Amino acid sequence: MLAARRTLLFFAMQRKLLYLRKTPAQSAAIFYVLIVGLVLLPCDWLGGFFFEGEKAAHFFGTGVLRLAMFAVMLALSFHAGIAGTALPQKGRGVALLWGLPAFAVAVNNFPLVALAQGTAVIGRNAQLLALYALYCLGIGLFEEQAFRGVIFPLVLGKTGTGKKGRVLAVLLSSAAFGLLHLVNLLGGVSPAVFLQVGYSFLIGAMLAVCMFCGTGTLFCALAHALFNFGGNVVVYCGIGAFSDIWCPEEIVLTAAVGLAAAAYFVWLCLRSPSAAAEAFAVYPPASGGKDAPRGESGGNATGGGESPAEALPRGGEEGPRHTN
């Protein structure tokens, strides 16, 4: 009996999609089509079995199914041999500090000025807030594992991990992430959707740079979920007019934080070491059957200068605020 269980476990753990590593660019396109298909699956029907309210049903159904999709992406990434993306890289735990400004951006997506002035309030419906948190967490986990945990490593396998390769991989994978949000046009044409595409690109680029620090996708997912939660918590779970949320003081604060974050993450992308990206980049197998690390496409890995990380110990939906 024990031998049979070991045999079953052995076959269950076999990586059956390793052939996808042979053509990273084409495989990234295949995964992208799959991701779009998953996003288009209806979700509210599930929540309708448990909750009568439209909001509650939407939050629960979408949150639970996005968590299931997250598990699917984890399984697919394992079988495709894309490893080391979920958790912080070994020996780089302190490097998580370099990704913390992403949480400053996420916190700034709350209507801080309106909440402080009392012109906007968050409701006291604990159940709805919990369901909304589940909704944001499910979306964050799925989208980060899909894009920063699968698409991004595959794109790096094509561009390489040198300075130019890193920048190109960030731009390409983030553009794909932003364009995913065009599916919201199926609910009706709105300028807000195109705005969502734009800031989704920027958030995707920021979190891709966090991956270069060795943060892992779970770190990115928490920042993503917090960003989404703050973006519409007043709209879905509170009271506040658009003019109150986007008052002049809030606009100035958001612009200041955004510009500072953009400068910081551009600098961090250019100064990050290739070694961190090499840990999860997916290259076609070399003649010996193993992945061949490279920097710029076809070249050797170049660090692009020493980075702060090298100096550390080693071992949604539309609304007045932004959501992805």
Residue 324 belongs to a domain: no
Per the model's pLDDT, the better-predicted residue between 202 and 277 turns out to be: 202
Helix (H) or strand (E) holding 7: helix 2-12
Residue 46 belongs to a domain: yes
**Lookup: tokens for 32:** 């992208």
Mean pLDDT in residue range 171-187: 91
Q: What burial letters (b/e) apply to 7-43, b meaning 16+ CB within 10 Å?
A: eeeeeeeeeebeebbeebeebbeebbebbeebbeeeb
CA distance 298 to 159: 9
Binned at pLDDT 50, 70 and 90, residue 20 comes out as confident
Per the model's pLDDT, the better-predicted residue between 213 and 260 turns out to be: 260
Residue 322 belongs to a domain: no
- For residue 291, the SS3 value is strand
Instruction: Please name every residue paired with 25 in a beta bridge, in sequence order, or none if there are none.
Output: none
Query: pLDDT, tens digit, for every residue of 77-91?
Result: 989 888 778 888 776
Per the model's pLDDT, the better-predicted residue between 70 and 313 turns out to be: 70
Name the phi and psi angles at 239, rounded to 5. Answer: -135, 130
Contact 239, 233 (CB under 8 A): no
pTM of the model: 0.85
Number of separate domains in the chain: 1
Q: What is the DSSP string of 71-90?
A: HHHHHHHHHTT--S-SSPPT
pLDDT of 8 above 80: no
Candidates 91, 88, 85; CA nearest to 100 is: 88
CB atoms within 10 A of CB 295: 22
pLDDT of 139 above 80: yes
Binned at pLDDT 50, 70 and 90, residue 103 comes out as very high
Query: pLDDT, tens digit, for every residue of 31-69?
Result: 999 999 999 999 999 999 999 999 999 999 999 999 999
Residue 62 belongs to a domain: yes
Residue 257 belongs to a domain: yes
Residue 318 belongs to a domain: no
**Lookup: tokens for 286:** 């070399």
CA distance 271 to 253: 27
Residue 301 belongs to a domain: yes
Q: Which domain holds residue 43?
A: 25-311
Residue 19 belongs to a domain: no
